[in-house]
Amino acid sequence: MEVVNFADRLAEAVARKESQLAVGLDPRLDLLPMELRGEAVLGRAAAASAVARFCRGIVDAVGPYVVAVKPQSAFFEALGADGFRALEEVCEYARSTGLLVVLDAKRGDIGSTSRAYSAAFVEPRDGDPPLADAMTASPFLGHDSVEPFLAACRRHGAGVFFLVRTSNAGAADIQDLALSDGRPLWHHVAELVREWGEPFVGEHELSSVGAVVGATHPRAVSEARRLLPQSPILLPGVGAQGATPADVARAFTAGAASALVTASRSVIYAYRDTEADWRSAAAAEAERLSTQVWAAAGW
């Protein structure tokens, strides 16, 4: 079967839908709609079933307005084996609707362990498609720890987004530390990601190796684009964390598909701020954000 570069698949999806929005699936039991929350207290199996139903409903609601969903694996894994089965079900369902799946797993370890993570998340499984099209990963153990993810890009058309400058407040404790030449540490990480991604640039002049950069730091977004001219940038932080589409506009200077804006809680729990049904509320917020991001990107 022909291997299609992840960045090319992303670019084609962005052009087709005129959207650069990915909706995060962060299913917190205490925030589920009341009709599902009652089931969630009946044990892990029932909770996992409720989570799967909720996420499938969100996929249906936001599907017309987004190019990808970003399941946060921790919320599923917290429910044990039932939760992981729910994750598999949700990923398979999302891909069956034509959406890309970017699994937010943030894995990274010595080479042999990273090989197992890669096999679990972005490589074909016994003849079946991979769980996800792309995943997030940590680069902080160096080249040998990321090579298995790069191999999945090479062999299977996977994508990987490495943590570069994250959106949380504590990121400054490590990522902003000054190197001997005065640059922040994250600039060096960005340059490594650029180097790792150069062999995986596709027909749309974008690499399958991207970077996670918090949208809550507009200056960092601009600097990251300069350091990563062909890397897609995954931009969390729009919505509940306070960033706006205008804050990320500079991320798109390398092309319409050169960044993905992710919004999670502000979309999937939008019903909490309105009288609308949870599906309708999520659809309306996804449509609003998608339109705003497209306009801000200028494409």
Catalytic site positions: 106
Q: With contact defined as beta carbons under 8 Å apart, do 159 and 133 qualify?
A: yes
In angstroms, the Cα distances linking 247 to 35, 107, 261, 262 are 36, 27, 11, 13
φ and ψ at 131, to 5 degrees?
-60, -40
Q: With contact defined as beta carbons under 8 Å apart, do 235 and 222 qualify?
A: no
Going by the DSSP 8-state scheme, the letter that residue 247 receives in this structure is G
On the CB side of 185, CA atoms within 13 Å amount to: 13
Structural Rg of the chain based on CA atoms: 18
Cα separation of 284 and 96, whole Å?
Answer: 22
| H, E, C per residue of 132-193 | CCEEEECCCCCHHHHHHHHHHHHHHCCEEEEEEECCCHHHHHHHCCECCCCCEHHHHHHHHH
Other Cβ atoms closer than 10 A to 291: 15
Helix %, strand %, coil % of the chain (to 5): 55, 15, 30
φ and ψ at 209, to 5 degrees?
-105, 115
In angstroms, the Cα distances linking 143 to 108, 151, 154, 162 are 11, 12, 15, 12
Question: Which amino acid, one-letter code, is at 39?
Answer: E
